[in-house]
């Protein structure tokens, strides 16, 4: 007889990168090891589809109320589970009231956090709701969980202020589905690519002048995955919405991956997920020299870390002009993901935490 685990998370399964490329992809392995996993998300798919849209206030309020009613139902069934796995929060707003009740009904809690979400609101779309965000929920869950899973060194250090039972596990990649296809030649127009969401595409605008400069001297296309409304004047650009069914195929179109980030505390909680997705597909990546990028990428070996516009332009142009360099770096980056950041390399770590907390 297996152990029954209830997962409480913000987003529906298979919809949010922070969930899909963190704990969700271990479900099959955990189920094979005697854990019955059931997922209850605060948002429905319909809510997920409008959450980052402007306006639609009434619909957002109604879907939020539906999420709270779902959590009340979850509270009544929590005693019948062997444990609960909480990602980010139980409910998004106010003090940690529902988090407190969750702990009262089931104390076998693993808490998973993947961002410095307690610092500020990262999306400009819903700024009017920012003051309602329950930032104390994260500290409460860190303090009272039996184990905390983080994803960066900075976040892990912060979590240890509240709980000594922490494990730092980066976002990871299923290398059985991420298969490199890049032939590393210049026979076709090269693609400079970025993947993310509406809430993070603001960071790609940091490269506006860089991309305009490169486009003026090289024939390249900019591919933006995750924000179909993205646009920069003076460059050849294709912007696509994110689709689960085509995500890997869209990523394989990229010849050089871009990962710009500002140097600010919020960023120190990011696990380098975009870089890992590129690297798993053997795509040479150029990233801002901040945060976890120093750990994920070996500068000049499995990617490049840059500090200013001049270095962005020089590094990208060098990669455009040198297919052999792209091949060498791409192959090294794939090997690094296989050895350190793949599901296979980390699945036994998740299993050991489940055994420790749930039995």
Write the CATH number for 110: 3.40.50.2000
Residue 52 has what pLDDT? Answer: 72
Q: Which residues of the chain have pLDDT under 70?
A: 1, 118-134
Same domain, 322 and 349: no
Residue 120 has what pLDDT? Answer: 56
Same domain, 320 and 349: no
Same domain, 91 and 221: no
Same domain, 143 and 245: no
Residue 277 has what pLDDT? Answer: 96
Residue 49 has what pLDDT? Answer: 82
Same domain, 21 and 164: yes
Domain range enclosing 246: 190-340
Residue 134 has what pLDDT? Answer: 67
Same domain, 146 and 67: yes
Same domain, 41 and 117: yes
Name the pTM for this structure. 0.84
Task: Give the model confidence (pLDDT) of 44-83 as tens digits.
Answer: 999 888 887 788 889 999 999 999 999 999 999 999 999 9
SS (H, E, C) the chain: CCEEEEEEECCCCCCCHHHHCCCHHHHHHHHHCCEEEEEEECCCHHHHHHCCCCCCHHHHHHHHHHHHHHHHHHHHHHHHCCEEEEECCCCCECCCHHHHHHHHHCCCEEEECCCCCCCCCCCCCCHHHHHHECCHHHHHHHHHCCEEEECCHHHHHHHCCCCCCEEECCCCECCCCCCCCCCCCCCCCEEEEEECCCCCHHHHHHHHHHHHHHHHHCCEEEEEECCCCCCCCCCCEEEECCCHHHHHHHHCCCCEEEECCCCCHHHHHCCCHHHHHHHHCCCCEEEECCCCHHHHCCECCCEEEECCHHHHHHHHHHHHHCHHHHHHHHHHHHHHHHHHCEHHHHHHHHHHHHHHHHC
């Amino acid at each position: 007889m297996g152990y029954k685990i209830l997962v409480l998370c913000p987003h529906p399964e298979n919809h949010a990168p922070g969930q899909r490329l963190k704990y969700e992809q271990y479900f099959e392995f955990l189920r094979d090891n005697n854990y019955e996993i059931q997922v209850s998300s605060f948002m429905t798919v319909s809510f997920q589809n409008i959450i980052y849209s402007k306006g639609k206030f009434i619909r957002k309020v109604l879907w939020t109320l539906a999420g709270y009613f779902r959590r009340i139902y979850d509270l009544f069934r929590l005693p019948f589970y062997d444990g609960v796995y909480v990602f980010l929060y139980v409910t998004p707003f106010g003090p940690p009231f529902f988090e407190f009740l969750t702990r009262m009904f089931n104390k076998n809690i693993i808490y998973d956090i993947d961002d410095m979400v307690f610092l500020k609101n990262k999306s400009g779309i819903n700024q009017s709701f920012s003051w309602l965000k329950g930032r104390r929920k994260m500290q409460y869950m860190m303090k009272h969980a039996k184990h905390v899973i983080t994803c960066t060194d900075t976040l892990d250090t912060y979590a240890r202020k509240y709980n000594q039972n922490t494990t730092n596990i980066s976002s990871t990649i299923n290398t059985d589905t991420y298969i490199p296809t890049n032939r590393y030649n210049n026979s076709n127009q090269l693609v400079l690519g970025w993947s993310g969401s509406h809430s993070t595409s603001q960071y790609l605008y940091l490269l506006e002048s860089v991309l305009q400069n490169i486009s003026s001297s090289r024939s390249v296309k900019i591919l933006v995955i995750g924000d179909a409304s993205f646009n920069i004047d003076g460059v050849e650009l294709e912007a696509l919405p994110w689709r689960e069914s085509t995500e890997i195929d869209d990523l394989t179109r990229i010849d050089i991956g871009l990962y710009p980030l500002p140097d600010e505390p919020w960023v120190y909680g990011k696990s380098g997920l975009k870089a890992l997705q590129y690297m798993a597909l053997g795509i040479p990546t150029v990233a801002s020299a901040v945060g976890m990028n120093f750990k994920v990428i070996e500068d000049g070996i499995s990617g490049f870390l840059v500090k200013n516009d001049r270095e962005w332009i020089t590094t990208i142009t060098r990669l455009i002009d040198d297919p052999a360099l792209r091949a060498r770096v791409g192959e090294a980056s794939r090997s690094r993901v296989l050895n350190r950041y793949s599901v296979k390399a980390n699945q036994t770590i998740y299993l050991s935490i489940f055994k420790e907390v749930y039995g």
